[in-house]
Chain A
Amino acid sequence: MRRLLRLLPVRFFVASLVYLALGVVFGALDALGYGNFKSVHTHLIAGAFFTLVIMGSMYQLIPTIIGTEIRYKRLAEIQFILVNIAFISLAYSFLIEYSFLKVAGFIAFVSFLIFAIEIYATTLSVKNFYKLSLAIWFFLAAVAYLIIGSAYALTGTLGITGFNILEHAHILTIGFIAMTTFGGFYELFPMLALKKLYSRRLGEIHFLIANIGAIGMFLSFSQKGSLFIFSSIIFLLGFYLFAFNIAKTYLSKLNTFVSETDISARFMAYALIFGVAGVTAGLSSALTGFPGSFTHVHYILAGWVGLTMIGAMYHIVPMLTWIQKYSSKVGQEKVPLINELYNKQLAKAIFITLNISLALFGLRDLLPALNLFAVPLAAAFLAFAVEMVLILKR
């Protein structure tokens, strides 16, 4: 495992798993009424876990896709340390000393800025990078939103500008997290499902629509007037277009003889269902109050984003482990297959538990008894975190 930890993306993934484990424990305690941990839960999951998985994935995927190397490796190492200090400081601020939030926010902003410099410098060093993959478009947009969202939070916390928590949350979730997830889907899903993306042109149109909708929403969040509703509908239509493109990809005529769908692709396919349900619930909640923001937030973040990340990690982590530990031994001794590095029965159990418990837990505002599903949901996330660490040790 020590050899694997030399790889920067692996360090990001391992750290993210620690935040995931802590975040789900705080979330479950909050849901079961053992304290108010909403802020720390949100920042550990939607902040630390998602951000570190995204950063690790971008450090791994972008050089792979565009055929280059990370531009400033030493700076990326420093960025890894800073971003962890930032998220630990944020958790400390929400749990123990709220006034520390300003320092935590500043460290976070600096680490994000370094990350942005790294990603843009790496990408722009390759000629015609935009032709190589649609994912790159979304990744670059996402990083820009990360800077805008974190600058907004920092200046708000310092009292320089006004601060609206929903605006802050949406710039970072729609802007940074959702845009990255779109990009990840366009790149990884066809590869894992062994299909050709149905239409890159539709993906480009989606990129335009998603950004128009997102920017419109950010600008109108405080008024929640007609521009906000219009922008939300634009974003929603973009999401449906994305879902249509991916569904058509998945259902396209088989060009493969492999019958069983890869576990990673299966996680991502179900994530898409939660995504469609979540964005629809968001607009419906804004217009009618039904089914409520809890369903919207949890179907989008835990369902669409969370399951996509789990799917991506079930691919990337065993692949990196196998390449580092076993690829050089092929032909010399018996080595395990990539899919033998994880427990298939456990992966299936995690898949089923996460989907069922999340579908029910997300509706807890409609039926409070469903709150109990926080327990199996947390247990499945924890099992996943432990399994990822065990893969790295195998």
Chain B
Amino acid sequence: MEILDVRGIQHSERPQIILEKLKELGKLEILVEVKPVPVIVMLESKGYTCKATQDQGLWKVKITEK
């Protein structure tokens, strides 16, 4: 699964970049500073499954199609 580190990207640019990657790849793992609750809710409403885990202060969210 491709890993996308969004920590260098502005907060407001992230949803679009994540969605573009998902449309292209179908699944994705993102690395993020804080649990991206609103993005997870948005992705789940669009038919994706999100599994968020915390590892040494970093959040990893695995996103797959349902």
Contacts and interface: CB of A to CB of B under 8 A. Distances in A.
A152 interface: no
Q: Which of B8, B10, B33, B42 has the most CB of A within 10 A?
A: B33
A335 B16 contact: yes
B57 to A, nearest CB: 6
Interface stretch (A10-18, A104-112, A315-323): A315-323
Given A64-B38, A195-B33, A331-B23, A262 B8 contact: no
Interface string B42-60: 1000100000000001100
Nearest to A254: B33
Interface string B15-26: 110011001100
B10 A339 contact: yes
B2 interface: no
B46 A327 contact: yes
Most buried by A among B10, B12, B15, B38: B12
Interface stretch (A82-90, A158-166, A186-194): A186-194
A322 B11 contact: no
A262 B11 CA distance: 7
Contacts of A339: 10, 12-13
B57 A255 contact: yes
B38 A196 contact: no
A64 B19 contact: no
Nearest to A322: B15
A356 interface: no
Given A196-B57, A255-B57, A323 B33 contact: no
Interface in A55-81: 64-65, 67
Given A330-B16, A338-B12, 4 more contacts: A258-B7, A323-B42, A330-B20, A331-B19
Interface of A: 64-65, 67, 190-192, 194-196, 255-258, 260, 262, 318-319, 322-323, 326-328, 330-331, 335, 337-339
B12 A194 contact: no
B38 A258 contact: no
Contact of B33 (A196, A331, A337, A338): A196
A256 B10 contact: no
A335 B23 CA distance: 14
B3 interface: no
B20 A327 contact: no
Contact of B42 (A262, A318, A327, A335): A327
A311 to B, nearest CB: 13
A64 B41 contact: yes
A67 B9 CA distance: 26
Contact of B19 (A258, A260, A330): A330
17 contacts: A64-B37, A64-B38, A64-B41, A67-B41, A194-B34, A195-B34, A256-B8, A256-B33, A257-B8, A258-B8, A260-B10, A262-B10, A262-B11, A318-B12, A323-B15, A330-B19, A339-B12
A257 B38 contact: no
Contact of A258 (B10, B41, B46): B10
